Amino acid sequence: MLMGCNTSEKLWYFSKGELNSATMSYDPVIKSDDVLGVFVMSPERDLVNPYNFDSRNIAGNQGGYSQGAPTPPGYYVDSSGFIEFPSIGKLKVGGLKRMDAARLIGQKLEPFLKDATVIVRIQNYKISVLGEVNNPGTFTIPNEKVTIVEAIGIAGDLLITGERASVTVFREMDGQRKEFSVDLTNRALFNSPVYYLEQNDVVYIKPNRAKRNGSVVNTNNGSLVISSIAILTSVLLLWMR
């Protein structure tokens, strides 16, 4: 009785609400503590080498989602949003989208390179999924774009004991930690500001009521109370006979 049970409806994803057909798009914004991979191409091939780290880690998709992978080398974005770039010096890229940052770097390189093309990637784009999932952890996202639904899939889906109606997303915005709550059983999730996750977001799946009640019952104190009640009941029945 204390454990309770979940109705099947509470376990279904997207079982409530209306689906909004509006088109959504996402382009990551560069933040402090990001590590940027910058790949510069130009007809003057010998002149681009000082600007480029290992292009294999920058120019394309870096493979599948991974845990514990070291961050490839790149340009570190400091707390004020600046990187230190060869020939240019300090350059403010924090708050810019990747394409805008690439365009800015290309413009700044015009005095040094002819017809430069610049690609910018966020090398340490990671999200964390914790709590009642099959494979909790921190995952590197190679294409810098992931939804909360995909993140849960990467973590092996929710356990039967996961609370689907109240999933918490922690996000750092303007130096402050913000908390959002989303309902995986409601289609309104697709319009949530945290449907697309940002780098360093943390998704936390709380245990549902059955799991919480079960944890209380299974503690030593709970077992002691239940045993005591059983003994007293037995004594009372013997006395009444």
Q: Per residue of the chain (241 residues), give pLDDT as tens.
A: 444 455 555 667 777 666 666 667 788 999 999 999 999 999 988 888 888 876 545 544 455 666 766 777 899 999 999 999 999 999 999 999 999 999 999 999 999 998 899 999 999 999 999 999 999 999 999 888 999 999 999 999 999 999 999 999 999 987 789 999 999 999 999 999 999 999 999 999 999 887 777 765 554 555 556 666 777 676 666 666 6
pLDDT of residue 98: 92
Nearest to 127 by CA among 158, 184, 171: 171
Unique residue bearing structure tokens 């109370």? 225
| Nearest C-alpha neighbor of 41 from the set 121, 120, 117 | 117
Residue 223 domain boundaries = 126-235
Same domain, 46 and 118: yes
Q: Are residues 173 and 206 in the same domain?
A: yes
pLDDT computed for residue 213 by the predictor: 75
Claim to verify: residue 146 and residue 221 sit in the same structural domain: yes
Burial class (CB in 10 A: 0-12, 13-18, 19+), 20: exposed
Domain end among 122, 153, 172:
122
Integer Cα distance of 62 and 64 in angstroms: 7
Q: Which domain-ending residue is among 76, 101, 122?
A: 122
pTM, whole model, 2 decimals?
A: 0.75
What confidence score (pLDDT) does residue 1 get?
A: 42
Task: Mark whether 146 and 218 lie in a shared domain.
Answer: yes
Q: What is the pLDDT of residue 206?
A: 94
My answer on whether 112 and 141 are in the same domain is: no
Q: Answer yes or no: is 185 within a domain.
A: yes
- Domain end, chosen from 122, 149, 184, is at 122
> What is the Cα–Cα distance from 158 to 163, expressed in whole angstroms?
8
Residue 10 lies in a domain: no
Whole-number Å distance between alpha carbons of 201 and 179: 10
Please state, in angstroms and rounded to a whole number, the distance separating the CA atoms of residues 105 and 84. Answer: 11
C-alpha distances (whole Å) from 42 to each of 24, 83, 102, 116, 118 are 34, 21, 14, 5, 9
Q: How many domains does the chain have?
A: 2
Give a yes or no: residue 6 inside a domain. Answer: no
Q: Is residue 106 part of a domain?
A: yes
* 8 assigned to some structural domain: no
